[in-house]
Amino acid sequence: MKCVCSLACLCLLLAAGGSASAEETLPLGLPPVPVKADNPQTVAKINLGKRLFEDSRFSTTGKVSCATCHASEKTFTDSPLRVSKGIKDLTGTRNSPTVVNSAYFEKLFWDGRSPDLEDQALHPFVNPVEMGLKDHNPILRIIRKDREYREAFREVFDLDAEKITMKEVTQAIAAFERTVVSGNSPFDRYQYGGDKSAMTEQQVRGLGVFLDEGRCVSCHVIENDQALFTDNRFHNIGIGINEIQSDVPGIASAFLKAKARGSNVDVKVLTDPKSSELGRFAVTSGLNDLGAFKTPTLRNVAVTAPYMHDGSLETLEEVVIHYMNGGVTNAGEEVNYYLSGGIRPLDLTDEQVDDLVAFMEALTSPEFAAKAKSQGDTGSKKEEGR
């Protein structure tokens, strides 16, 4: 069971003892935030979660925290890294997705192996290429010895130090992450706020391409009163698996055997590049999920480069060209056998490509717009031979 609440201004309102309706506090363009019934939001819990999220003591080197790969100044990613770096600069196989608006995701991680934010928070601590702990006991020892943590957990959960478990730790982290939401982009002001000057003429044309010739809206959903820009589903779009398609039967078979023997999926997909490209299949073992990855939100996409689950595409223009080619990065390459049915070549003009990129740049929320300005036009770089 889930309840929903508005979180954009909740912390300030609760701290001030005030109240407001969801309509008054929601960022423009977003629905109410889903909140688990057994993990209600409070200001104290959110503040505790933020501190846990930023605490680098929960790693073997004492230098890596959740915020290392999800830095607020980088739109809660580690852009411009292609794949994330953990302890001792070890690298995994996946690009770090933004935490912004992750409260709306029905599954977490690129392959959806966690059902909610609470479960997701457990895994990076004990992944050998992320925070590197053997188990969660060091986290609990630190918390139980830290006076401020003891007081905070007692206030939030009414627990003495020895009774604190990882359940409460992850509930607090998830509570904080559910406050990291953003809307109010130029698109939102144009589409939902009635401000027809909020987007440029080029961006308005790009919205038309997004809805029609580009077919982007099929997966990056826009609704009448809100837009998450994701369908919360998994698709094989021809990234990563194209490089190993002749080996897929053998890799998939070996993976399933290892999984049956108890191999840790979380560790396997972040340490073995070929297993990583199996995508959602690693979780479900379903053939239809081979090479399929979660549809990411496009909100703030202009400031979270590079793109795709493996960070293999550097610009938004490269992303559009990949789709124009029908699921291959370079025109003429062989399409993989497991490509999702909706991925077909697009016949877009150069102007439409530029318009589409300009529209995606209109999805940046004001709190992240300064980063977009400092980076320049991330997605507008021309590619030779387009």
pLDDT in tens, 110-136: 999 999 999 999 999 999 999 999 999
- Position 61 in a domain: yes
As a whole number, mean pLDDT of residues 366-375 equals: 76
- Position 382 in a domain: no
Using DSSP bridges, classify how beta strands 33-36 and 234-235 pair: parallel, antiparallel or unpaired: unpaired
As a whole number, mean pLDDT of residues 339-362 equals: 96
Q: How confident is the model at residue 371 (pLDDT cuts 50, 70, 90)?
A: low
246-291: per-residue pLDDT in tens? 899 999 999 999 999 998 888 888 889 999 999 999 999 999 999 9
DSSP 8-class letter at 300: T
Check whether residue 192 and residue 310 sit in a common domain. yes
Check whether residue 35 and residue 118 sit in a common domain. yes
What's the pTM? 0.91
As a whole number, mean pLDDT of residues 301-310 equals: 97
CA atoms within 13 A on the CB side of 368: 27
* Per-residue pLDDT at 189: 98
CA distance 116 to 327: 30
Check whether residue 49 and residue 131 sit in a common domain. yes
As a whole number, mean pLDDT of residues 211-237 equals: 97
* CATH number (domain holding residue 162): 1.10.760.10
Contacts of residue 247, Cβ cutoff 8 Å, sequence gap at least 6: 274
Maximum CA extent, the chain: 65
DSSP 8-class letter at 77: B
Check whether residue 221 and residue 274 sit in a common domain. no
Give the structural domain span for 267. 241-290
Residue 7 reports pLDDT greater than 60: no
CA distance 280 to 236: 9
**Across all residues in the chain, what is the average pLDDT?**
91
Give the H/E segment covering residue 33.
Answer: strand 33-36
Which pair of tokens denotes residue 16? Answer: 């001030």
- Position 380 in a domain: no
Q: Give the count of domains, the chain.
A: 3
Check whether residue 311 and residue 248 sit in a common domain. no
CA atoms within 13 A on the CB side of 343: 23
By mean pLDDT, which of 21-25, 208-212, 354-358, 364-368 is the weakest?
A: 21-25
Of 148, 177, 206, the domain-final residue: 177
